[in-house]
Each structure stands twice: as C-alpha cells, then as structure tokens.
Amino acid sequence: MTSIVEIRNLKKQYAPTAGQKEGQLAVKGIDLMIEKGEIFSLLGPNGAGKTTTISMMSGLLPPTAGDVLIGGHSIVAEPMAVKKMIGVVPQEIALYPQLSARQNLEFFGKMYGLGGGELAKRCDEVLDFIGLKDRQKERVDSYSGGMKRRVNIGVGLLHKPALVFMDEPTVGIDPQSRRNILDAVKQLNQQGMTVLYTTHYMEEAEELSNRVAIIDHGEIIAEGKQGDLIQKVGEKDAILVKVGEDGQKAQQAVKEAHGVDGVTFSDGVLRILAGRGRQALPNVIKALSEAGVVIQSVEVKEPNLEAVFLHLTGRALRD
C-alpha cells in the first residue's frame, strides 16, 4: 500500500489570546498515514483540532512542530509542490456572495493558474458535477445553504487535485443536500481521488470510510479500520425486544437462551446483550414464543463508532 499523506508529530500551539498565559495547544503531536485512493475520516467533537490540522496540512497555518509529507513533499519545505496536489474545501464557506457560481469558479480557477478554454471546460465539468449547471448565473447570496456548500466543494475540485481535504462539508444543511454531498464524495473517490474527510457525525464516517481516526482534545485517541476499532473496545451487540407489560416473564425466559450474555428490562423493552446479536436472535425469539410472550418489535443494534468514542472518553460524541 502506498501512502499519500504522512503526518509526523504534528503540533499546533496558538498564540495566547487576551487573558491567556499560554496559547491553546490545539494539536498535540499527531501521527497519521493516509493511503492513496482511500476516503479517510477524521472524526471528532467540536474543538477537537480537526480544522487546525487541515489548515496546517493545506499550508494556511504553520505548524508549531512536526511536518506533513504529501506525495513525499514536505508542507514546510515544499509548500508549492504540495499546493498543486491538494484541493481544500474549508469549513467556513469562502465565496464571493455578489458573484455567480460560475464567476466564483472562474475567479478561483485563475488563482490555481487555470485559464482560457481549459478553465471554461473545468467550470462546465464542475458545475455539472455539483448539480448547479442550470443556476450557474445566479448570485451566490441568493443560494440556499446546501447550494453554497456545493459551490464551495466545486472550488476545491477545479484543478483536479489528487487529494482533497473536506472539512465538515455537510454541517448546517438540509438532508437532501447532505445526501448529494456524500454521494459526490464517493463518486470522486471512485474516480481515483483520495479524500480526507472531517466530521463530527459518526454516521458519515461510517458510511464513507474504511479507515477512521478519532481525534479528541488535539490527540488521536483511536485509529484504524472501523470494524477493528469496534472490536477492540469489546462492546457487545444489543437486541432490543419490545414486549410491553410482560417484562418479568420475558426476562426469565430469555436469560437461559443460547448466546445471551445478559438481559435487562425497562420501559417495556428487553435489552439483551450478546456477543453476536444476529446469531442469538432466533434463540431469543424461540424462548419468548415458548413462554407465551407477545413480541411487539425487535431490533438488533451493533456497536458503532459512537460506542468507541464513549468507551474511550466517557463522553458522547455530540456533547
């Protein structure tokens, strides 16, 4: 496997603000490796250090210590070589509101060194990709939040970068725009682009990426394939069975079922813990039927990245 990004002991301490003796240590010496061709998610709550990391990786903010190699080039020593390779979609929308989508793309395209027929062609392609061809001539300040987000993404793609950084591109938009953006990320990846995607939505990291790093208080607290992370924390599956009033009887019936590790009852719902929920499920249902318990609904919940975060920090991801 070839790495396209190597983050080495990357650190950022901001300058002290008024009243602070020492500046905020926002990124505390992180190491990460991103493989060519993958979608890698950096998952973490507000203030974890995601944007600070992305800003250093894209040359907007000098690191306090450490380095990042992108395609073998140092962001500190060879920033120009790095800039050619990367596209950046910042968290804060950076567009000219009085200009149209197309004018914004043309402006930023020129900054990337594109011009003439090539620029026009790329603008057409990008507008098509972000689904705004029909409305390209309207001013950006007349767009919805989701449309602005899409233009913001388009700007990052104009020069066909090998690697794109997307910093929370779906925050504050409607579900349909969010769906469009997630699908667009997958499509870009299928075309060969490597994507670094930051989010505080566990579901997005789960859907998009194979490998994930969880960042909290400026430190990487877990990193690897999702399945491995979940397995490592040793959380069990939970089978939730709605049984209404029959709690006592139901609990008794299920306790001895094969594959069941524990069972509790509250608010009309049995919560059954099992190492392998799907395998234990038929035994659970059989035991309940035999005891004459009426099952109103059944759900198997497998542990997710939220459980990993909770296990490692004792906090929910969206505190």
Ligand X SMILES: Nc1ncnc2c1ncn2[C@@H]1O[C@H](COP(=O)(O)OP(=O)(O)OP(=O)(O)O)[C@@H](O)[C@H]1O
Contact residues: ligand X, CB under 6 A: 14, 17, 24, 26, 44, 46-52, 91, 168, 200
* Closer residue to ligand X in complex, CB, 106/204: 204
- Least distance from C-beta 182 to ligand X, angstroms? 18
* Closer residue to Mg ion in complex, CB, 12/50: 50
- 129 makes contact, choosing from ligand X, Mg ion, none, with CB < 5 to 8 Å by partner type, with none
Q: Residue 173 is inside which H or E element, if any?
A: none
Q: What DSSP assignment string belongs to 39-94? A: EEEEE--TTSSHHHHHHHHTTSS--SEEEEEETTEETTT-HHHHHHHEEEE-SS--
* Residue 211 amino acid letter: R
- Least distance from C-beta 103 to Mg ion, angstroms? 27
- Ranges within 85-124 binding Mg ion (CB under 5 A): 91
* Closer residue to ligand X in complex, CB, 27/253: 27
CB proximity list for 180: less than 8 A, separation 6 or greater: 131, 146, 150
Nearest CA to 211 among 11, 55, 5?
5
Q: Is 51 in the site for Mg ion (CB under 5 A)?
A: yes
- Least distance from C-beta 229 to Mg ion, angstroms? 22
* Closer residue to ligand X in complex, CB, 5/114: 5
Q: What's the rounded Cα separation, in Å, for the pair 305 and 314?
A: 13
- 24 makes contact, choosing from Mg ion, ligand X, none, with CB < 5 to 8 Å by partner type, with ligand X
- 26 makes contact, choosing from ligand X, Mg ion, none, with CB < 5 to 8 Å by partner type, with ligand X
* Closer residue to ligand X in complex, CB, 1/18: 18
For the stretch 253-257, contacts whose Cβ atoms lie closer than 8 Å and that sit 24 or more positions apart, written own/partner, are 253/287, 253/288, 253/290, 253/291, 253/293, 254/284, 254/287, 254/288, 256/287, 257/283, 257/284, 257/286, 257/287
- Least distance from C-beta 309 to ligand X, angstroms? 14
- Least distance from C-beta 60 to ligand X, angstroms? 11
* Closer residue to Mg ion in complex, CB, 34/166: 166
The CA-CA-CA angle for residues 171, 177, 179, to 5°, reads 95
- Least distance from C-beta 61 to ligand X, angstroms? 8
